[in-house]
Each structure stands twice: as structure tokens, then as C-alpha cells.
């Protein structure tokens, strides 16, 4: 009597186990890729059209993005906030302001973030939180602000 189940076959058939191992490796690979895309999507570049004055936008950026080791390292255009060296990894969030006749157009983006050896983003949540708090503050100050991206 022969067993047709490769998982319980005592004859040494390992085809079933190899298939299960292969599917697990592929599954973990897909999950890692999807998780990395989720993290990098959180700090994707965004454009905001607002009626606020450029100085108010820059003040909101400095107030919401800096703190807890983060400081403004460049007050030009773009304004650049950078993480401290104590965190081990330098990261930056930048704000470019283009004044217009009825307010300004603002671009907030991440020019520098850290990657793991195999390419995944590290410490992406702090970038996401800081960018989200800035966008929330702009929306609070100008309820008609339009965020794209």
C-alpha cells in the first residue's frame, strides 16, 4: 500500500515540503515588498494650494515638523528640517513655497531618508507623522486648503 500524500510519505518524498517552503518564501517576499511600499507611500511628496501667507506656512512647518531632535538646518527655499545625529540616521523633510496672487503653492517632500541594506525604508513612521502633522496644521489654519499627492 502506497501513500499518495507527500507530507506523510515515509519514503523520503520532499516535493510537498519544498513547495510549501517555496510558497512561504514567496509570501514573505510579497509581504515585505507591500510593507515597504506602504511605508514609502506615507511620506510621498505632496502639494498644497492654500490662501495662507508664505510666512504662515513656513511658521507652521517649523512648529510642527521640528522638535524631539529635529531642527531647521536651512531657512532658504526649500526650508529643510533634519533629524538629529543622536537618532543614528539623518533624515530630512523639505518645504518649497511658491507665492501666488491668492496665496501660495506649497510642496512638502523628503529629500533624504534611510534605507536598509536590501532597499527597505527605515524610520519611515517619523517622516509620515511629521508630514501628516504639518498637513493637518495647514488644513486647520485654512479650511479651504487643497492637498494633492
- Grid coordinates representing 105? 503653492
The pLDDT-based confidence of 19 (bands split at 50, 70, 90) is confident
Q: What is the pTM of this model?
A: 0.71
Report the alpha-carbon distance of residue 21 to residue 69 in Å, rounded.
44
Q: Which CATH number fits domain 45-148: 2.60.40, 3.30.310, 1.10.10, 3.30.1490?
A: 3.30.310
Q: Per residue in 37-84, pLDDT tens?
A: 777 777 789 999 999 999 999 999 999 998 888 889 989 888 999 888
Q: What is the pLDDT of residue 116?
A: 65
Rg of the chain in Å (alpha carbons): 24
Amino acid at each position: 500500500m502506497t501513500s499518495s500524500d507527500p507530507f506523510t510519505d515515509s519514503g523520503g518524498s520532499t516535493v510537498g515540503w519544498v513547495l510549501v517552503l517555496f510558497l512561504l518564501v514567496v509570501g514573505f517576499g510579497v509581504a515585505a515588498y507591500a510593507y515597504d511600499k506602504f511605508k514609502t507611500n506615507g511620506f510621498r511628496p505632496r502639494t498644497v494650494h492654500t490662501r495662507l501667507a508664505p510666512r504662515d506656512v513656513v511658521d507652521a512647518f517649523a512648529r510642527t515638523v521640528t522638535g524631539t531632535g529635529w531642527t531647521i538646518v536651512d531657512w532658504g527655499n526649500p526650508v529643510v528640517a533634519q533629524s538629529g545625529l543622536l537618532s543614528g540616521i539623518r533624515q530630512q523633510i523639505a518645504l518649497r513655497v511658491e507665492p501666488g496672487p491668492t496665496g501660495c503653492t506649497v510642496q512638502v517632500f523628503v529629500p533624504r531618508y534611510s534605507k536598509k541594506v536590501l532597499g527597505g525604508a527605515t524610520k519611515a513612521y517619523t517622516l509620515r507623522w511629521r508630514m501628516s502633522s504639518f498637513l493637518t496644521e495647514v488644513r486647520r489654519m485654512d479650511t479651504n486648503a487643497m492637498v494633492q499627492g
